[in-house]
Amino acid sequence: MKVSVLGTGRWGSFITWYLSHEKHDVVEWGREGGKSYTVLKETGKNEYVTLNSSVTLTSDLKFAVEFADLIIISVLSNSLKEVLLSAKNYGADKKDIVLCMKGLEEDTGLRLSEVAVSCGYDKNKVAVWIGPGHIEEFTKGKPNCMVIDSNNRELTVKLADSLRSDLIRFYYGDDLIGNEIGAAAKNVIGIAAGMLDGGGYSTLKGPLMARGAREIGRLIKAMGGNELSAYGLCHLGDYETTLFSPFSQNRRYGEHFIKGEKFEKSAEGVKTVKALKLLGEKYNEELPICNAVYRILYENANPMETFNTLFHRSSRTEF
């Protein structure tokens, strides 16, 4: 396929690396003057990958959109709407779109596929690429399983079959609501895990995992999805890479936060927790872990006191 990847951050550059090695024709677009784009343009590599010489790197969005049979977007969630609207000017809404991102719209709680539809994109031409995996492991040849999901079963199957390889084994998703919410929420649980690590309470990560999946499952069900999706690849199945891995930026953010250390990289869960708080209120669902992280990050709650209160509950038969 002819594929254009919009975004030159760590996942955008990895997707470009991956698809070019799988013999697809790839154009990668980034903003002129942007730090990540400039590094790739000047050196052909970044700290994660070295781009194949067959890749075309461009800051011309019109060229990138018109080139592609398939457009994959991998940018920060709060930049998605701007990118979608700009790309639409060149006909991106007429093409199949894949969002390789994990987040929610901060001020509305919209899932990212819903953001695309709100920008005038056909819901049957928008898919998501989510699930566990770290670039640092993939580039060493260590495989993992991920998910393609959409409102359109035919599109889901076509994309999963076209993009899969021995390195990334794609599953067909069948619950767009559950998979998107689960994928976004695991970053918040990852921040909580990092806070426990930083505070010396790593032993509580087991209860965190059990309660986290149950908490998010209830929200997914309230929103009309399948609560069992919280136990699939996009949430519980992604806990190992998010709650334990040294490569997890959300876990590392939480650990640095507790230790009072500055964290230079992006952690999507910081903004996602705002959206989850909104969704919990909208659907009248209690989200104790998400609300605890919100209070710590935005209301200056004492982290360890908050977590001790959270896990110091009366005996009960279920989470």
pLDDT reported for residue 146: 97
Q: What angle do CA 132, 112, 82 make, to 5 degrees?
A: 120
Q: How far is CA 222 from CA 166, 227, 235, 279, 295, in A?
A: 36, 9, 17, 10, 23
Tokens of 202: 């790593």
Tell me the backbone φ, ψ of residue 96, rounded to 5 degrees: -70, 135
Structure tokens that stand for 62 in this block: 């019109």
pLDDT beneath 50, residues of the chain: 317
Q: pLDDT tens-digit profile of 22-60?
A: 999 999 999 999 999 999 999 999 999 999 999 999 999
**Catalytic site residue from 95, 102, 125, 186:** 186
**Residue 2 is a catalytic residue:** no
Q: 152, 136 in Cβ contact below 8 A?
A: no
Q: How far apart are CA 131 and CA 236, in angstroms?
A: 10
* H or E element that contains 57: strand 56-58
The torsion angles phi and psi of 130, rounded to 5 degrees, stand at -140, 175
DSSP H or E run through 96 = strand 96-99
User: Which residue segments constitute the domains of the chain, with CATH numbers given?
Assistant: 2-172 (3.40.50.720), 178-311 (1.10.1040.10)
Q: Which residue has the tokens 């230790």?
A: 259
* Secondary structure of 245-271 as H, E, C letters: CCCCHHHHHHHHHHHCCCCCCCCCHHH
What phi, psi does 6 have (nearest 5°)?
-100, 110
Q: What is the value of pTM for the model shown?
A: 0.95
The pLDDT of residue 316 is 55
End-to-end CA distance of the chain: 46
Could you tell me the two tokens for 243?
A: 């709650």
Residues facing residue 130 across a β-bridge? 147
